[in-house]
Amino acid sequence: MILAVSRGVATLVFALPIFAAAALEAAADVTAIERGVVDAVNDARRDRGLPPLTADPRLTQVAPGHSCAMAERGFFDHAAPDGSTMGDRLRAAGVRYRSAGENIARIQSRGDPAVRAVTGWLRSEGHRENILSPRFTATGVGVCQVGRSVYFTQLFLLPR
């Protein structure tokens, strides 16, 4: 117990572990949602006799940037307001590829957001095509949660 310091400092000292724990819990939730998307996508692929996608750490680093940009800047599109695209984001990260695709989603956080995002994608022809394309071998998912909204970016890749 720290009695010799001011109450404000003692409060701050005791509050830091609480904020750190909350941040770690939020990061763990996002990681679980991202893993849930990869698992649900790979389940859909297996159900159709396709091999699972491999999680690519480079894509897992690129994808959250677009999700958080959409959440923080208030847009929902494959292209950012500055015109940058998935290809621009991959090139900026040094990712080389033969073929690439991207699915995005915005879900209100009721129920399991990963299942809801993948279910929605599977109902959409273009999104389903990315998920079930035999040409893609790698994936990366990025999630950004702001309030009750969860933003998703899933990248698909056939590497060089």
DSSP-derived 3-state class of residue 3: coil
Beta partners for 146? Answer: 149
Share of the chain above pLDDT 90, in %: 76
| Mean per-residue pLDDT of the chain | 85
Tokens of 109: 């956080």
**Burial class (CB within 10 angstroms; exposed 0-12, middle 13-18, buried 19+) of 109:** middle
User: Residue 156 and residue 136: Cα distance in Å, rounded?
Assistant: 6
Query: Which of these ranges, 2-6, 23-27, 100-104, 132-136, has the smallest mean pLDDT?
Result: 2-6
Residue 30: band (very low, low, confident or very high) from pLDDT cuts 50, 70, 90: confident
Whether the pTM exceeds 0.85: the reply is no
Q: Which residue has the higher pLDDT, 100 or 30?
A: 100
User: Which value, to the nearest 10 degrees, does the dihedral of the CA atoms of residues 112, 58, 122, 43 take?
Assistant: -70
